[in-house]
Structure 1
Amino acid sequence: MRGISLPRPGRRFAFAAAVLLAVLQCLPAPAAASGFVRVDGTGFVLDGKPYRFAGANFWYGAYLGAPDGVGDRERLRAELDQLKAAGIDNLRVLAMSEASGFRRGVRPAFMVAPGEYDQRLLEGLDVLLDEMRKRDMKAVLYLNNFWQWSGGMSQYVSWFSGEPVFDPDETGDWNGFMQNSARFYAMPDAQAAYRDAIRTVVTRRNSVNGIAYAEDPTVMSWQLANEPRPGSDAAGAANFQAYRAWLDDTAAFIRQLAPRQLVSTGSEGRMGSLGEDDYYLIAHASPHIDYLTFHLWPSNWGWIDHHDPAARLEAGLQASLEYIDRHVEMAARLGKPIVLSEFGLNRDKGSYDPAAPVAARDRFYQAVYARLLQHARAGAPIAGSNFWAWGGRGRTSNPDWMWKEGDPFTGDPPQEAQGLFSLFDSDRSTLEIVSAHARQLRALP
């Protein structure tokens, strides 16, 4: 039939689709899930939701990831599975060590000599990060150490001064050792070698999965060092300006290399800042430092008895909780999140035996976690914690409890008795306390 002209359905649909497409193009695109942890005010967010964590120190993770002869990848996977099942999915890991003459230094080391690296350990870090990525875990990687057990700053000083290492395990002079380590901040050649180490790790491409480290959301944060200090409490003030400049400059350097990831210092807080709040606040005011850290060692600091933690436990707990409160308040003053990135306590009667009871330690963990949760519920700037340290299935058979090259790794580094602070895979009561805290944090809005 002819005479009546109707629009063809195809044209009508094409016109409507074109209009709809134009409208959609004008709307803001939904934010893509990046997987990177970022700072939002005084907290962390992950893909638009608050990110809080109950984590662990797992300093030897890259060592377990190394090839046979150094590492134990079967153990690594089993340890990560146990941690993940317990709700522990944030791990603080050593990402650089230096070959040293220290009696109690870890061996082998990432850095064989300035500018020379052991590829087995870098590969071990690749494997660790890949296994963590598979389990949706986050890593905090520290790139130096104020202390001697991984070589650290005093080894840099030895390399570039030509002097023997200043070994406190030989001399017993810890104040002298700290002042010697602090020379590192003002040694240009040492800083150049350190930056080469930073660049080597931060710009590395993972040999397992091909992901560039700086583009891997598995890495939450880069830390400048483990427990950097201006020096000893007695004489460190003379080094403070060099220390402060080093924090600021190095944090800025890392941020340039990895702008999508966070930067933190690794500081232990007031006790690592010449015992003064102001030194800690001034040093961490840098805009290149994304969040604050602090550590809590009541038996090392004399608040609780090393040899019998139960003896003065309640008084030591009170001092510990006040220390937490003090640092949360300082974080609020700076307007930054803060993480309790190390804390620990000895087993009952100061035992190193994994079979020894842990009643005092469990009480300590419960009190610390309760105070952190209290602050988190109140909206205070506490973002998470990492207990020291995960020992997992590591054990020593040495009668003096000290680590020797080739021994299994535990959470206790080589300069300390193996079992001093480790949380072993058999410590079920403590592990459940950590798991319960993780569940409570996740339940917060």
Structure 2
Amino acid sequence: MAFGGGLALYHVLGVATCVALLYFTFGEVDLRHISLPSLPGSGAASGPSPRAAAVAAPFVERRGSQLFLEGEPFYPNGWNSYWLMDQAVEARSRDRVSRMFRAAAEMGLTVCRSWAFNDGAYNALQVSPGHFDERVFKALDRVLVEAGRHGVRLILSLANNLEAYGGKTQYVRWAWEEGVGLSASNDSFFFDPAIRDYFKVYLKTLLTRKNHLTGVEYRDDPTILAWELMNEPRCTTDPSGDTLQRWIEEMAAYVKSIDRKHLLTVGTEGFYGPTSPPSKLAVNPGIWKDNNYGSDFIRNAKIPDIDFASIHLYPDTWLLQQRATVDEKLEFAKRWVASHIEDGDTELGKPVLTTEFGLSHRAQGFDPAHRDVLYRAIYDIVYGSAARGGAGAAAFVWQLAPEGMEEFHDDFSVVPSEHPSLRRLIKEQSCRLAKLRRGAGEEAKRALSACAAGSS
């Protein structure tokens, strides 16, 4: 597209986003009475619809072991704020979403991982199998629009292995209450035909959801970088890994049958399983050396419909039984991330994203400086891989929140404004990754603009 046409396109996107922002802030806006400018050569006197503007942005793609955007390698710096949809439901809490995106943009962050599920809980998206609360769906619509307004893309997780926000426990409970469940075990989520059908109904409903602000179906919205099948899937009743593997294969194929535009990942923590060589099993922490809880990192990630692998990293929790020192935690963390990036380069030929990592402030002897040291070590490994064109694509902090969200904090939460040294470190990572793209693409330009604003 010619440069002049690009400027016009951004003008259109800006107007459409402002319309959506009015909704986000004040409620319903009648889009029929909003005049939008025309794209050059469109031939439409009244200009394109909000939908046409929303789908104009490019999708993130995978080529081999790297992510690509607009024909150039894409190196995002990201974070986790799982609560975005929940907090966008009610007017009194929506400003938290805006404030988080604004704070992230100031640090040059370009991708956020968040939940696109809430099953049977407070502000549930899915209130019962196949029945959805439109009020909550509209909240997720708002999150997509607000993310786009700040130049942020989303990795949206589709289910939870844990009970928070319903999780697989809620699906099993639904099947049991309706008299169709095969077992009361939480792991029946992975093998019960009725529950698998429940989940597929949810998947189809979500992927084909039409955003009420833009008119764009989620499967056509490039604001979404990727779907994640489940947060930290585990199937403890089948340590062979076969049950979880079959579920991943089935659900990955189903997602791709509906949506081939978006990337897809599993959401695993990265534990090596029965099919891994002994040298890799030795990398597993503590009790995971012999019990991987049904996951099998390399085998899971090799599935053709899976576009990139994910790992998590929590040395405080995983090494607790070993009473590890700070130095031991740091050495484990570096070995863990480097080993999986090596897998991406040599075994998988796919990108590897550290989609969660953190250090607990409740750990014995914790000092905020320990967190800075760990983050820098992880960032250095990712940057080194990106600089040489390797599989290490990104690392996402768990978790960030704006001020006044204490009820959502956990052991790892960080309010950037309250931790200046860590805020600078996160921003530095955004800056050096953006410089690898040499300003190619809007995300890199926004990150470099944040860098130019200073180191505060």
Q: Under TM normalisation by the shorter chain, which class is it?
A: 0.7 to 0.9
**8 Å Cα contact 1:56-1:389 kept in structure 2:** yes
**Equivalence map 1:359-374=2 (5 Å):** 359-374=369-384
**Runs of 4+ more than 6 Å apart:** none
Partner of 2:436: 444
Please say if residues 238 and 294 of structure 2, whose CA atoms lie closer than 8 Å, have aligned partners that are also in contact: no
| Separation (CA, whole Å) in 1 of partners of 2:94 and 2:293 | 43
- Cα distance between partner residues in 1 of 2:103 and 2:64: 33
The structure with the greater share of residues assigned to helix is 2
Q: Aligned pair 1:334/2:348, yes or no?
A: yes
1:271 positional shift:
6.0
Q: Which amino acid aligns with 1:40?
A: R
Shift of the 277–253 alpha-carbon distance from structure 1 to 2, 3 Å rule, reads closer
One-letter amino acid of the counterpart of residue 342, structure 1: E
Query: Counterpart of 2:411?
Result: 420
Residue number in structure 2 paired with 1:317: 330
- Counterpart code for 1:347: H
Shifted more, 251-260 versus 267-276: the winner is 267-276
Q: State how far apart, in whole Å, the 2-side matches of 1:117 and 1:326 are.
A: 41
- Cα displacement string for residues 40-61 of structure 1 (whole angstroms, at most 9, x for unaligned residues): 1110010111111110011111
Deviations 1:312-360 (A, max 9, x none): 1111110111111111122121111110000011126569xxxx96221
Letter in 1 for 2:166: G
**Range moving further from structure 2, 76-85 or 270-279:** 270-279
Alignment partners' CA distance in 2, 1:197 and 1:272: 29
CA displacement at 1:181 relative to structure 2? 2.7
Question: 1:375-390 residue pairs with structure 2 within 5 A?
Answer: 375-390=385-400
Q: Tell me what 2:151 maps to.
A: 136
- 1: CA distance, partners of 2:332 / 2:153: 31
C-alpha deviation, 1:275, in angstroms = 3.4
Task: Give the structure 2 partner of residue 211 of structure 1.
Answer: 216
TM-score, scaled to structure 2: 0.74
Shift of 1:131: 0.8
What does residue 249 of structure 1 align with? Answer: 250
Amino acid at match of 1:186: F
Task: Give structure 2 stretches of 5+ with no counterpart.
Answer: 1-54, 275-290, 438-456
Cα separation, 1, equivalents of 2:342 and 2:294: 11
* Equivalent position to 1:435, from 416, 427, 431: 427
Q: Distance in 2 between matches of 1:438 and 1:85?
A: 10
Compare CA radii of gyration and give the structure with the larger one. 1
Aligned with residue 62 of structure 2, among 39, 61, 84: 39
- SS in structure 1 of the partner of residue 401 of structure 2: strand
For 2:404 and 2:128, the matched residues in 1 are separated by 29
Is residue 262 from structure 1 mapped to residue 263 from structure 2 by the alignment?
Answer: yes
- How far 1:141 moved relative to its partner? 0.5
Deviation at 1:259, TM superposition (A): 1.2
Residues 298 and 349 (structure 1), Cα distance of their counterparts in 2 relative to 1, 3 Å cut: closer
Give the fraction of aligned pairs with identical amino acids, expressed as a percent. 26
- 2:175 corresponds to 1:160: yes
Contact 1:67 1:120 (8 Å CA) reproduced: no
**Cα pair distance change 1:349/1:383, threshold 3 Å:** closer
CA contact (8 A) 2:99 2:402 kept: no
Offset from partner CA, 1:151-203 (integer Å, 9 cap, x none): 11122112213499xxxxxxxxxxxxxx9332211111111111111111111
Q: TM (normalized to structure 1)? A: 0.76
Tell me which residue corresponds to 1:29. Answer: none
Partners of 1:149 and 1:370 in 2: CA distance: 32
Assess if the C-alpha contact under 8 Å between 2:83 and 2:115 holds in 1: yes
| Matched length | 362
Q: Which moved more, 1:372-381 or 1:294-303?
A: 372-381
Cα separation, partners in 2 of 1:360 and 1:271, compared to 1, 3 Å: farther
1:344 aligns with 2:345: no
Q: Is the 8 A contact 2:100 2:401 kept in 1?
A: no
The answer to whether 1:292 aligns with 2:309 is yes
Larger mean CA deviation between 59-68 and 154-163 belongs to 154-163
Structure 1 position 285, deviation (Å):
1.3
Q: Structure 2 CA distance, aligned partners of 1:360 and 1:39? A: 34
- 1:155 and 1:272 map into 2 onto residues whose CA distance is 27
The CA distance in 2 between the partners of 1:156 and 1:34, in whole Å, is 35
1:79 correspondence with 2:115: no
Assess if the C-alpha contact under 8 Å between 1:375 and 1:382 holds in 2: yes
Match status 1:88 vs 2:109: yes
Q: Distance in 2 between matches of 1:221 and 1:436?
A: 25
Q: 2:199 aligns with which of 174, 194, 197?
A: 194
Q: Structure 1 184/74 Cα, relative in aligned 2: closer, same or farther at 3 Å?
A: same
- In the alignment, which residue of structure 1 is the partner of 2:37? none
Residues 323 and 33 (structure 1), Cα distance of their counterparts in 2 relative to 1, 3 Å cut: same
SS of the aligned residue for 2:67 comes to: strand
